[in-house]
Amino acid sequence: MTAMNISAKKDKVTNIREASIRAELTERQWSFLQQARKLGREQIGPAAWQVDHDARYPHEAIQSLKEAGLLGITVPEEAGGHGAGFGGDTLLLPLLLMELAAWCSSASQVFTLHNTGVQLVHALGNAEQHAFFFDKVVKHGELFASFGSEAGADRFKLGSGLAAVDGGFCLSGTKIFATGSTGAKWAIWRSVRTDMDGSQEDRFVMPIVDLTAEGITVTDDWDGIGQRGTGSGTVLADHVHVPSGSVIGGGGAYGLIHPFFNTQFHIHFAAQYVGIAAGALRDALDYVKEKSRTWTAGLKVTDDPAILLRIGEMDAKLEAARQLVLHAARLLQAAQSAPELYPSAALAASQAKVIATSASLEITSDVFQLMGARAATRKYGFDRYFRNARTLTLHDPVDKQREALGKSALFSECGE
């Protein structure tokens, strides 16, 4: 076979794969995906090894997203954004997260939590809050973070308290695993009103906190084996003043939008798992073509059945997980106009998360068997994919999703 024929054959396969993806998307979604891929290849990916090695915030990635105008991806179009997520295109953000995570999963996680914050403002904020905070994102490139975790024995009990004072509120509390805190300007700080009676749900509020305000201390003490650049440290609020116009979510309002955000939470994590696996396989295939040695005498590496079979299995697992993520995102899209579909969307999100978890952990480990022992040396940094997958998949135990799926299958009306 001539070099020209080999090249043509490769282009044809690439076109087939690209065509299958493009056929699933709108022109707008495809355009954004290509933009994210270009950023990943040219700016985000080249810095990812150093981000992991130095355990530092992914400044290059966030700056590239800012310059491309993508920080406003979930800001409504009428406010100058691109209308992804709540109230808009729920497929667009998972598509970008899969792509970004394939290059730098620390960057994708920071981007995820930023957009969670922006969407909460969209869902729960009033017109004045929309105008102010959307402007901060779109025109000033300011980032959001979204804090929930606290270091108590009961993971569901909130210790952060908000009380009314002259001119606004006073916030005190500590958040751990505060992803994005080292680079964010604003944070959605899940809290309870301490000057009110009632259940935690009744008193639940989300002040939007300026992380540069007096009384805020951000400590970058996250020391994980993976996701080392997410800035997921500890943030302390010590009697911090919060303006009266910077609180959202009171009076049980969050309960009304919980089905959307809870389902999206699982979809977005699953999307990142898929992205991490895709990045690992992409780099492994490049390594195989350039550096791997055959296991079968007389054959080229690219003709070795042992290698081809393993690649084929990983490719199939990855595509299955990707399709489940897209399916769940489309159901979430439909549920926005047909709320009776939220249970179906939640079920699909659980399925996507379970399969994406397994695919991510298996592929990021199996690529070493594909590449060989030399690929395990530190200079290549392939281990970061497995460390990132192992760390990120520990967020919200996937066994809870397996349990939910088991109950659904066992007690479904048509399951008997």
Q: Tell me the domains of the chain and their CATH numbers.
A: 22-142 (1.10.540.10), 146-248 (2.40.110.10), 253-411 (1.20.140.10)
293: pLDDT strictly greater than 80: no
pLDDT in tens, 157-166: 999 999 999 9
Radius of gyration of the chain (CA): 22
Residue pair 189/171 in contact by the 8 Å Cβ criterion: yes
Residue type, 205: V
Pairing of strands 204-210, 144-147: unpaired
SS3 153: coil
pTM for the full predicted model: 0.94
pLDDT at residue 14, as a whole number = 57
pLDDT in tens, 302-352: 888 888 999 999 999 999 999 999 999 999 999 999 999 999 999 999 999
378 burial (CB, 10 Å; 0-12 / 13-18 / 19+) is exposed
Residue pair 237/160 in contact by the 8 Å Cβ criterion: yes
Given CA atoms 382, 387, 393, 399 in this order, what sign does their dihedral have?
positive
d(CA 144, CA 275): 22
d(CA 277, CA 275): 5
pLDDT in tens, 6-64: 344 444 545 788 888 889 999 999 999 999 999 999 999 999 999 999 999 999 999 99
The CA distances from residue 362 to 52, 226, 322, 375, 386, in Å, are 21, 16, 15, 17, 9
pLDDT in tens, 225-282: 999 999 999 999 999 999 999 999 888 899 999 999 999 999 999 999 999 999 999 9
pLDDT in tens, 133-184: 999 999 999 999 999 899 888 888 999 999 999 999 999 999 999 999 999 9
204 burial (CB, 10 Å; 0-12 / 13-18 / 19+) is buried
d(CA 61, CA 39): 8
The mean of the pLDDT values for the chain is 93
pLDDT at residue 414, as a whole number = 53
d(CA 23, CA 42): 25
pLDDT at residue 351, as a whole number = 98
Residue pair 229/58 in contact by the 8 Å Cβ criterion: yes
What's the per-residue H, E or C state across 260-286? Answer: HHHHHHHHHHHHHHHHHHHHHHHHHHH
Pairing of strands 216-219, 247-248: unpaired
What single string gives the DSSP state of each residue in 302-323?
A: GG-HHHHHHHHHHHHHHHHHHH
